[in-house]
């Protein structure tokens, strides 16, 4: 649904992105992750038809974003990083303007505008001037205009930036609800965001794509050791001893003791899932097992790994 092939964009002597290639399949939600200035917005703007790439090509819904720009743009909904809307219009007027711009047929406009307003929770703000809305509501109107016309592809540039935590949750929920209806590519520099919403993640830094994979695979590929967090009511020394004897356990570290509850982190061979064995051993000793869970390496960790040791991870476009 989205295809980028060796996209390169230079502004004068500055190279914003270099040789970025990836594919996004129909119905996928893909996260575009990278620090500020990594080239996320540049890539999104190329996909959105704002400007063409210096080299390489991109296709959206089968249309080249340069040669078939109008049809490509007809297929997308775009949410810009800087949510700039016409502040002198009311929400409803503005969405009416967008519907005209997107060639939504006149008799479907009222229904379509009502749909996106409802979807984004701005129905009760329809008659307010956009200039008088709070940042959160403007953001929602921004998303509403992207959704208008039911585009096949949604390009969302930092859709949760600048929102309060409750609004962030709402926007993420909204994006998850799009699953199956639209293909979504969203950029963010907030790591939990992709974990919360995305099927796959593209990691970009300094204009180059570092990795393309599912959050889970990235997790697996980058971990040398799996970590399991165990809490039990047991004497610490005996518990450590018992766990160390399990085949596949590399190391056991005590993390916390409180009265008679001890918490330990068990580092294990990543190819084996030892949770069952650990639980069984602890319980066999007669110790109440309070908690056992795998510790997920956060994308923060993954990202640091990739940025500092990019050669050790192969880029796998097309996933």
- Which residues of the shown chain bind another protein in the complex (CB under 8 A)? 11, 14, 16, 36-42, 45, 48-52, 54, 70-71, 73-74, 76, 78, 80-82, 84-89, 93, 97-98, 100-103, 145, 155
Nearer to another protein, 187 or 226 (CB): 187
| Closer by beta carbon to another protein, 101 or else 254 | 101
Q: CB-wise, 94 or 287, nearer to another protein?
A: 94
Q: What's the min distance (Å) between Cβ of 42 and another protein?
A: 6
Structure tokens at 13: 């002597």
Least spacing, CB of residue 16 vs another protein, in Å: 5
In the chain, what's the furthest Cα-to-Cα distance? 75
Q: Which is nearer to another protein, 16 or 263 (CB)?
A: 16
The whole-angstrom separation of Cα 232 and Cα 68 is 62
- State the Cα–Cα distance between residues 201 and 78, nearest whole angstrom: 19
Question: Do residues 24 and 185 lie in contact, with contact meaning Cβ atoms separated by under 8 Å?
Answer: yes
**Cα-Cα-Cα-Cα dihedral of 237, 240, 241, 247, to 10°?**
180
Sign of CA pseudo-dihedral 103, 154, 81, 7: negative
Give the separation between CA 314 and CA 23, rounded to whole angstroms. Answer: 16
The length of the chain is 319
Closer residue to another protein, CB minimum distance, 145 or 219 = 145
- Smallest gap from Cβ 304 to another protein, in A, equals 21
- What minimum distance in Å lies between the beta carbon of 128 and another protein? 14
| Torsion sign, CA atoms 272, 273, 275, 276 | negative
Q: How far is the CB of 172 from another protein (least distance, A)?
A: 22
Indicate the residue among 26 and 100 with the shorter CB distance to another protein: 100
Give least dist CB 55 to another protein, A. Answer: 12
The neighbour count for residue 100, using CB atoms within 10 Å, is: 11
Query: Residue 312, exposed/middle/buried by CB under 10 A (0-12, 13-18, 19+)?
Result: exposed
Question: Residue 291's beta-bridge partner residues?
Answer: 231
- Nearer to another protein by Cβ, of 39 and 159: the residue is 39
> Which DSSP helix (H) or strand (E) runs through 243?
helix 236-244
3-class DSSP state of 118: helix
The least CB distance from residue 127 to another protein, in Å, is 14
Q: Which is nearer to another protein, 145 or 188 (CB)?
A: 145
The token duo for 245 is 């004897």
CB of 45 to another protein, least distance (A): 7
For the CB of residue 131, give the shortest distance to another protein in the complex, in Å: 10
- Sheet architecture: strand order including 153-157: 76-79, 153-157, 183-188, 29-33, 200-205, 208-213
Shorter beta-carbon distance to another protein: residue 31 or 39: 39
């Amino acid at each position: 649904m989205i295809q980028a092939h060796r996209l390169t964009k230079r502004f004068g002597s500055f190279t914003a992105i270099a040789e970025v290639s990836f594919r996004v399949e129909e119905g996928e939600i893909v996260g575009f992750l990278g620090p500020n200035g990594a080239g996320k917005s540049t890539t999104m703007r190329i996909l959105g038809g704002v400007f063409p790439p210096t080299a390489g090509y991109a296709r959206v819904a089968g249309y080249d974003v340069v040669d078939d720009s109008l049809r490509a743009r007809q297929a997308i909904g775009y949410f810009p990083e800087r949510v700039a809307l016409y502040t002198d219009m009311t929400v409803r007027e503005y969405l009416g303007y967008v519907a005209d711009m997107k060639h939504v047929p006149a008799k479907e406009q009222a229904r379509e505008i009502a749909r996106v307003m409802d979807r984004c929770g701005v129905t009760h703000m329809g008659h307010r001037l956009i200039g008088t809305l709070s940042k959160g509501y403007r953001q929602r109107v921004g998303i509403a205009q992207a959704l208008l016309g039911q585009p096949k592809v949604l390009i969302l540039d930092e859709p949760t930036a600048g929102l309060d935590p409750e609004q962030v949750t709402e926007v993420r929920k909204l994006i998850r609800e799009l699953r199956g209806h639209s293909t979504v590519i969203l950029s963010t520099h907030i790591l939990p965001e992709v974990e919360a919403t995305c099927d796959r993640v593209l990691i970009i830094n300094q204009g180059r794509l570092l990795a393309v994979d599912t959050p889970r695979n990235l997790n697996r590929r980058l971990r040398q050791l799996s970590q399991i967090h165990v809490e039990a009511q047991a004497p610490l020394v005996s518990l450590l001893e018992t766990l160390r004897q399990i085949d596949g356990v590399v190391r056991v570290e005590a993390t916390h003791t409180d009265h008679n509850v001890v918490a330990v982190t068990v580092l294990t061979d990543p190819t084996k899932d030892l949770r069952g064995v650990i639980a069984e051993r602890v319980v066999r000793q007669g110790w109440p097992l309070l908690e056992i869970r795998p510790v997920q390496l956060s994308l923060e960790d993954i990202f640091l790994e990739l940025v500092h040791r990019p050669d050790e991870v192969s880029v796998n476009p097309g996933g």
